[in-house]
């Protein structure tokens, strides 16, 4: 695999913290592992929000609010990748003072 | 055997390690044509996959609720509180009779 393409920052897909957690037995999940998973995700969300992509964004909710509602199974969403593609296109055109047309 | 709908799934999750979905029961109760098709094979081929999707979405909902409820407990309470895993692997039996 060639590593010549630049990395996507912030990343869209990566090994998810919940992958390994999900495969533990119930006894192995209870207590410290579920707490560690929760804290890890909060840190990941806060790091993600600090990236330049979200500069200037104000959120009336905390990473704790978000992660507590996620459940124990994370997913990667193709729509997130497409949203990033659109964001990049709009930002690029905005910088050039150009429009993006939705029809001919 | 197994569960036909999300309500049964929630009751079984605590003690049943896998979630078995009977194709025969789906062909009897859940066809979009409303035909009772058990053993006759004349129902849409997405009958079982459709129900799997419903069950999985329900499993995810209950997993999210469980996770949220556990985060409201203290760390000590979590250690002793029974953990119900709603995300039991689904065995979808497509053989409908």
On chain A, the residues whose CB falls within 8 A of the CB of B83 are 26, 29-30, 34
Cα–Cα separations (whole angstroms), residue A20 to A15, A72, A95, B39: 9, 11, 42, 41
CA B69 distance to own-chain centroid:
21
Contact call for A34 and B78, based on CB within 8 A:
yes
Q: What is the spatial distance between Cα B57 and Cα B48, in angstroms, rounded to a whole number?
A: 14
Closest CA to B93 of B36, B42, B52: B52
Query: Quick count: other Cβ atoms within 10 Å of Cβ A5?
Result: 6
Across the range B9-13, mean pLDDT stands at 97
Across the range B1-6, mean pLDDT stands at 92
pLDDT digits (tens, 9 = 90+) for A14-33: 788 899 999 999 999 999 99
Rounded-to-5 percentages of helix, strand, coil across chain B: 45, 10, 45
pLDDT recorded at residue B97: 60
Closest CA to B60 of A16, A35, A18, A71: A71
pLDDT digits (tens, 9 = 90+) for B74-96: 999 999 999 999 999 999 998 76
pLDDT digits (tens, 9 = 90+) for B45-70: 999 999 999 999 999 999 999 999 99
Answer whether residue A9 shows pLDDT above 90: no
Judge whether B85 is closer than 8 Å to chain A, CB to CB. Answer: yes
Place A1 in a pLDDT band, splitting at 50, 70 and 90: low
Judge whether B79 is closer than 8 Å to chain A, CB to CB. Answer: yes
Contact call for B67 and A22, based on CB within 8 A:
no
| More confident call, A57 vs B39 | A57
Judge whether B70 is closer than 8 Å to chain A, CB to CB. Answer: yes
Judge whether B69 is closer than 8 Å to chain A, CB to CB. Answer: no
Contact call for B67 and A72, based on CB within 8 A:
yes
Contact call for A31 and B85, based on CB within 8 A:
no
**What three-state secondary structure class fits A90?**
helix
DSSP states along A32-67: HHHHHHHHHHHHHHHHHHTSGGGTT---SS-HHHHH
Note every long-range contact of B61-70, with CB atoms under 8 Å and residues 24 or more positions apart, other chains counting: B62/B10, B62/B13, B62/B86, B63/A71, B63/A72, B63/A73, B63/B87, B64/A69, B64/A70, B64/A71, B66/A71, B66/A72, B67/A68, B67/A69, B67/A70, B67/A71, B67/A72, B68/A68, B68/A69, B70/A34
On chain B, the residues whose CB falls within 8 A of the CB of A73 are 60, 63, 87
pLDDT digits (tens, 9 = 90+) for A53-89: 999 999 999 999 999 999 999 999 989 999 999 999 9
ipTM exceeding 0.90? no
């Amino acid at each position: 695999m060639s590593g010549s393409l630049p990395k996507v920052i912030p990343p869209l897909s990566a090994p998810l913290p919940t992958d390994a957690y999900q495969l533990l037995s119930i006894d192995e999940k209870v207590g410290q592992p579920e707490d560690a998973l929760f804290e890890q995700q909060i840190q990941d969300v806060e790091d993600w929000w600090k990236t330049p992509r979200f500069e200037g964004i104000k959120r009336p909710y905390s990473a704790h609010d978000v992660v507590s509602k996620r459940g124990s199974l994370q997913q990667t969403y193709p729509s997130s990748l497409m949203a990033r593609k659109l964001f990049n296109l709009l930002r690029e055109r905005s910088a050039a003072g150009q429009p993006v047309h939705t029809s001919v | 055997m197994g569960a036909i709908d999300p309500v049964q799934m929630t009751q079984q999750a605590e003690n049943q390690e896998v979630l078995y979905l009977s194709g025969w029961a789906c062909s009897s109760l859940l066809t979009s044509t409303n035909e009772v098709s058990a053993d006759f094979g004349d129902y849409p081929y997405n009958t079982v996959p459709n129900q799997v999707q419903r069950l999985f979405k329900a499993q995810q909902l209950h997993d999210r609720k469980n996770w949220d409820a556990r985060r409201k407990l203290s760390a000590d309470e979590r250690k002793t509180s029974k953990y119900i895993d709603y995300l039991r692997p689904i065995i979808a039996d497509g053989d409908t009779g």
